[in-house]
A and B are shown apart, each in its own frame.
Chain A
Amino acid sequence: MRDPILALDGLDKSFGALHATRQVSLDLRPGEIHALIGPNGAGKSTLIAQIAGTLKPDRGEIYLERQALSSLSVAERARLGLGRSFQVSSLAEPLSVLRNVMVGVQAVQGSSYRFWKPIRSDADLVEPALRAIEQMGLGHRADTAVSDLSHGERRQVEVACALALKPKALLLDEPMAGLGPEGSAKLTELLEGLKTRVPILLIEHDMDAVFRLADRISVLVDGEVVAHGDSEAIRNNPHVREAYLGEEAC
C-alpha cells in the first residue's frame, strides 16, 4: 500500500471533563476521498481544528507526508500543502473571487513582502489563481465580488482557495452544508474530478454525497472512531446504524 499523505496518530483532546477526541488515528492515502461522519457533537469540528492548527491536541501527532505538524501554525501547515475549507465559508466578501484565491498563490510562491509590482498585472499570480478557479467551474465569475455570489458558488470559491495552495491534502469541512440538491450534486461532481489530483478528507452530513464520493468512511461518535471501512461496510455496520444513520439508511 502507498504511504498515506495525511496521518493522524492517536490524537487526544479534552476540554475539562469533556473528552472531545479519544485516541483518533486515521489516514488519507493518495487518490482517495476519506469521509469522516458522525452525529452532531461527535467531535468532528474539534478534530478538524486540530488538523488545521487552530487547536492543539493534548496527545498524539499529525503527519503530512511524514512531517509532524503539531508545532506548526495554521499558515505554516497551509504552506506545506494542507488546504482546507470551512463549515461556514470564510472569505473576504468585498474582494473578487480572483483576489481571494490569489492570496493563496502568493503564499505558496514564498513572499508577501513585495512592495512594488502590482498584483493585477502579475501573471505568475493571476494565472495559477485562474486555473484553480476554473477547476471549480467558476471561470466566468473570477472578477465578481464574493458578496455577489450565491451560497453554492462561495463553497466552490473556498475549495478554489484551497486548490491555489497546490495542496497535498484537502480538508473539507461540510462543503455541502446549506446547499440545495442541485448545488450539492454539482459540488459532488467537482470533488469527484478532484480526488485523483489531491486526496480529500471530507467531513460531511449529506449522506448521498458521502456514499457517492467516499472510498473509505470513518465514523466518529463521542470523539472516538467507532467504525471504519468502505461505504458498503459502513452502511451495513449495525453499530453505525444505531449510533448515527438511524432511519435514514434502513
Chain B
Amino acid sequence: MTSLESHIPSRSPSLGRRPLSRETVIGWGLILVLVAAAVFAHLAGEPFYVNLASRIAIVALAGVGLNLALGFGGMVSFGHAAFFGIGGYVAGIGAFHAFDQSPLFGLSGLPAGSDLMPVLWLSALLVCGLVAYAIGAISLGTSGVYFIMITLAFAQMIYYFAVSWPTYGGEDGLPIYIRNSLPGLDTNNPLVFFTLCMALLGLALFLTQRWMNARFGAALTMARLNETRLATAGVEPRPIRLAAFVISGMITGVAGALFADLNGFVGPSMLSWHRSGEIMVIVILGGVGRLCGPLAGAILFVMMETLLGGLTEYWQLFLGVVLLAVVLFARGGVMGLLAGRERYA
C-alpha cells in the first residue's frame, strides 16, 4: 500500500486548481449573452427589451434561491412565492411610507419607511429569513408530498393575509410610484436597473457555488442523497436543511424586492401559488441542482412567455409541452442538455 505522503501529491488534480468545467463555461456564456442583449437593446433605444432582460435576471435570482432548497437540498418547496411576495411587499411598503413620510405600518414610534434599495434589500433578507425559519422549522418535520403541501399551505396563508390587508391595497395591490433609489445611481435608467439585478444575480451565483463547495454544501448534499449516512457520520440533518431553506427563502425574497421595483407594483399575485409553480418550473427547465440552471430556465421561460405569448394566449400549452419533454427526456434540464450529466468531484 502506498504511504499517505506519496499518495497525496498524486491527487493534485483534485487538490489543486481545476480547469474550467463545461458547466462553468456555459454559465458564463449565459451571463454574457444576457448582458450583451441588454446593452444592445439599450443602445438600440429599446427599453422594453432591457426591462425584459432585467425580468430574466430577477426571475433567475428567485430560481437560484429555490434551487438551493429544491436542487441542492432536495426540499421540494411549493411555497417560495411567499418569500418572493414578501420581498416585494417589503419594497412596496417601504416605498409607501417613504412617499407618505409616515412611520411603518402607520404606527407611531416605528421608524419611517425607506426608499433606499440597500435598506429594502436588507429588510427583505431579514423578514424572509425569519419567515423561512418559521416555515422551515415546522415543515421540515415532514418530507415528500407532505412537505410540498405544508409549504403550499403556508404560502396560501400569507397570500390571503395580503389580500385581506386593506392598508396596502388588499386584492388590488400596492403601486410603487417612484422607483426606489440607490445613492449615486439613476435606478430609473433601465440599463442601470438591469446592472443592479445582474450584479445581485451574479453575487447569489458566486455565493451559492462557494457554499456548495464548502463544508456546508458537503453536508447539504449528503442530507439530500442519504440522510442516514449524514446522521451516522455525526451531523444532524435537520438543522442543515433548515439553514439551507432559510438562505433559500432570503435569496428569493431579494428577487421579489427587485421584481416589485421593476414593475412599480406589488400585489397578491406575487404571493400566489401560480408564482411558486412558475419559480419551480424555471428551476426544473434549467436543471435541478445545477448552479446556472435557474438562469438557463429563466431565459427559456421568459423568452417563451414573450415570443409565444405574443402569438397566442395559449402559450402555456407550449410551455407545458416543453416542460414535459424536459422532465421525460432531459432530466438535467437545459443545463443537462448543454453541459452533460451532473458530476461530483
Contact = CB atoms under 8 A, between A and B. Distances in A.
B129 to A, nearest CB: 15
A73 interface: yes
B225 A103 contact: no
Given A75-B236, A99-B344, A115 B214 contact: yes
A151 interface: no
Contact of A106 (B7, B225, B235): B235
Contacts of B215: 106, 111-115, 117, 119, 122, 125
Interface in B314-345: 342, 344-345
Interface stretch (A27-35, A130-138, A202-210, A224-232): A130-138
B225 A92 contact: yes
B345 A139 contact: no
Interface string A126-152: 110011001001010011010000000
B228 interface: yes
B229 A75 contact: no
A134 B4 contact: yes
A112 B219 contact: yes
Nearest to A98: B14
A74 B231 contact: yes
A143 B11 contact: yes
Contacts of B105: none
A102 interface: yes
B219 A78 contact: no
Given A112-B215, A120-B345, A92 B235 contact: no
Contacts of B222: 92, 95, 103
Contacts of B31: none
A215 to B, nearest CB: 25
A83 to B, nearest CB: 8
A96 B344 CA distance: 7
Given A95-B344, A103-B219, A165 B234 contact: yes
B80 to A, nearest CB: 21
B8 interface: yes
A57 interface: no
Interface string B211-247: 1011111110110011011111111110010010000
A111 B234 CA distance: 10
Given A90-B229, A143-B11, A165-B234, A115 B216 contact: yes
Interface residues of B, number: 37
A174 to B, nearest CB: 16
B51 to A, nearest CB: 33
Contacts of A93: 225
B232 A84 contact: yes
B15 A120 contact: yes
Nearest to B342: A94
B25 interface: no
Contacts of B344: 94-96, 99, 145
A90 B211 contact: no
A122 B8 CA distance: 12
B210 interface: yes
A94 B345 CA distance: 10
A15 interface: no
B2 interface: yes
Nearest to A53: B231
B311 interface: no
A127 B222 CA distance: 20
A130 B231 contact: no
A246 interface: no
B345 to A, nearest CB: 6
Contacts of B14: 120, 143
Nearest to A109: B215
A164 B233 contact: yes
A162 B234 CA distance: 10
Interface of B: 1-2, 4, 7-8, 11, 14-16, 210-211, 213-219, 221-222, 225-226, 228-237, 240, 243, 342, 344-345
29 contacts: A52-B232, A74-B231, A75-B233, A76-B236, A78-B231, A78-B234, A90-B229, A92-B229, A94-B342, A102-B218, A106-B219, A106-B235, A107-B233, A107-B234, A107-B235, A108-B234, A112-B235, A113-B216, A114-B215, A115-B211, A115-B215, A116-B210, A117-B214, A117-B215, A120-B15, A131-B4, A134-B2, A139-B1, A139-B2
Nearest 3 pairs between A and B by C-beta?
A: A107-B234, A78-B234, A92-B225
